[in-house]
Chain A
Amino acid sequence: MPRPTRPVPEVGGQQRIGLVFVSHSAKIAEGLVELAAQMAPSVALVAAGGTGDGRIGTSFDRVTAAIGEADSGAGVVVLCDLGSAILTTETALDFLDDDVRDRVAIADAPLVEGGVAAAVAAESGEPLDAVVAAARSANTGTGSDSGAPDDASAPRDADTPASDAPPDTSTADAGVGHVRRATITNADGLHARPAAELVKLASTFGQRVTVNGTDAKSLLAIMSLGLTKGASIEIASEDPEGGAAVDAIAALVQSGFGEH
């Protein structure tokens, strides 16, 4: 049975974190590779589902091989489903060479949501800790992985006009911020693929940028805004250097993410 494994593409010599999905079910792991690959075409995504002989369960040998396959040298984040998947993965980690184990982490996160968020972070070239944090952002229910204290109180309702609840006004009003408005034109709204595009674009800038007050670099946070077609959004950065990022994201939104 062919395994839907994606080798590491050479992208400008940049090595990305690889991902391993460990599930009791081979189909779940393989399906998640397909799903995440839509948003992370450059990331090594390796399925390690089921046992070696096609049963429900997890396989030490499969997990060990998958970690080796996903590791380009930058590191690997492993996501697991039910308990014994974690036991098997932890055992596999025990048997890795010390230098390899140092760059492999198990992310305590829901397999599907955490896996997709981790894939986007890895696609953006984030380091190991940030990819783990992106996966763990799926645990919060708010989708915030930025750790910024203002995120929890940031407006999440896409229908709320930003002028009624402008985010971060205290400093944005000080004249150093950048704000652009844009309208979602995609028929299906800001669904997973365009949301991932937006996050990837935002992640190419060093400055913090928000969409309706939510961290633009967090996939789950952006998706949890639930932006539908016609929604007017506010893209903002308090950073004096954030203008280019705000302009670029506004242009991407206005372009309809290439869907029309």
Chain B
Amino acid sequence: MGLDITWAVDWVRRSADVVAEHRVELIRLDRDIGDGDHGENLDRGFTAVIPKLDDLAAGSTPGDVLKLVAMTLISTVGGAAGPLYGTAYLKAAASAGSESSLDGEAIARLLTAARDGVVSRGKAESGDKTMIDAWTPAVDAATAAAASGADATAVLAAAADAAEAGALATEPLVARKGRASYLGERSAGHRDPGAQSTALLLRAAADAASDSTGA
């Protein structure tokens, strides 16, 4: 019971919804320690993806959907989130390849590829108070779940739980990358907006999975 194009499209729609819903929260988090554009930029990016979903050719795969998201975010976001998430979705698309259905192992590989893309683009490490602090726990949890035989839906649920915990755990950290690093010690006590948006997007992926498989 793998995840197919229906899941991928639903993930994108849920992502657009959740980002719009949390737009003000993300802006506030980013205003605390950054330049305040994260919520607005992501909202613009995902809003731009939605109409393009209708143009997907028949027979499109999850990989095609992820690539569409990547190219749209890269072109429309305008802040660091554009190239970072754009690269994440692009690497995820490459990992998914032309498979029409993704099982637990494939989902874990896809998340790993996405995380590796963000690392190579942003050069951040764990503990730098960036979206990596949500991505890496998610990848670790997904990989462990897949190794224990979990299906794709359970793998995504594990990833989403770990990403949320990871985002929460960025609060005491002092930023060492990105605009927040200019604040030094003053960045402690605030949750990283990129880690928070990563948690939201992975939760959207898990919710889309659990709906599509009725789990």
Q: Which residues of A contact B (CB under 8 A)?
A: 51, 55-61, 82-84, 87-88, 90-91
Contact = CB atoms under 8 A, between A and B. Distances in A.
Contacts of B177: 83
A91 B118 CA distance: 11
28 contacts: A51-B78, A56-B35, A56-B37, A57-B77, A57-B78, A57-B79, A58-B78, A59-B75, A60-B75, A60-B82, A60-B83, A60-B86, A61-B75, A83-B80, A83-B178, A84-B79, A84-B80, A84-B82, A84-B83, A87-B82, A87-B84, A87-B122, A88-B83, A90-B121, A91-B82, A91-B86, A91-B87, A91-B121
Interface range, B side? 10 to 19
B74 interface: yes
A198 B60 CA distance: 61
A88 B81 CA distance: 10
A59 B78 contact: yes
Interface string B47-87: 00000000000000000000000000011011110111011
Nearest to A55: B78
Contact of B179 (A57, A61, A83): A83
Contacts of B37: 56-57
Nearest to B181: A83
A56 B37 CA distance: 9
Nearest to A87: B83
Contacts of A91: 74, 82-83, 86-87, 121
A145 B82 CA distance: 34
Contacts of B121: 87, 90-91
- The 7 A-B residue pairs with the shortest CB-CB distance, nearest first, are A57-B78, A84-B80, A87-B83, A91-B83, A51-B78, A60-B74, A88-B83
Interface string B30-58: 00000101000100000000000000000
Nearest to A59: B78
A88 B75 contact: no
A59 B41 CA distance: 12
Central interface residue in A55, A60, A61, by most chain B CB within 10 Å: A60
Nearest to A84: B80
Given A57-B41, A60-B83, A91-B82, 5 more contacts: A51-B78, A55-B78, A58-B79, A61-B75, A84-B79
B74 A87 contact: no
Contacts of B82: 60, 84, 87-88, 91
Interface of B: 35, 37, 41, 74-75, 77-80, 82-84, 86-87, 121-122, 177-179
A7 B78 CA distance: 26
A59 to B, nearest CB: 6
A87 B41 CA distance: 15
A82 B75 contact: no
A49 B60 CA distance: 36
Nearest to A57: B78
Nearest to A85: B80
Contacts of B79: 57-58, 84
Contacts of B179: 82-83
Contacts of A61: 75
A87 B117 CA distance: 12
Contacts of A57: 37, 41, 77-79
Central interface residue in B35, B82, B122, by most chain A CB within 10 Å: B82
A251 B153 CA distance: 78
A7 to B, nearest CB: 25
Nearest to A88: B83
Contacts of B35: 56
A79 B78 CA distance: 17
A211 to B, nearest CB: 38
A85 to B, nearest CB: 9
Contacts of A82: 179
Nearest to A50: B78
Nearest to A82: B179
Contacts of A60: 74-75, 82-83, 86
A88 B85 CA distance: 11
A58 B122 CA distance: 15
Contacts of A58: 78-79
A87 B37 CA distance: 16
A59 B179 CA distance: 18
Central interface residue in A56, A58, A84, A88, by most chain B CB within 10 Å: A84
A55 B36 CA distance: 13
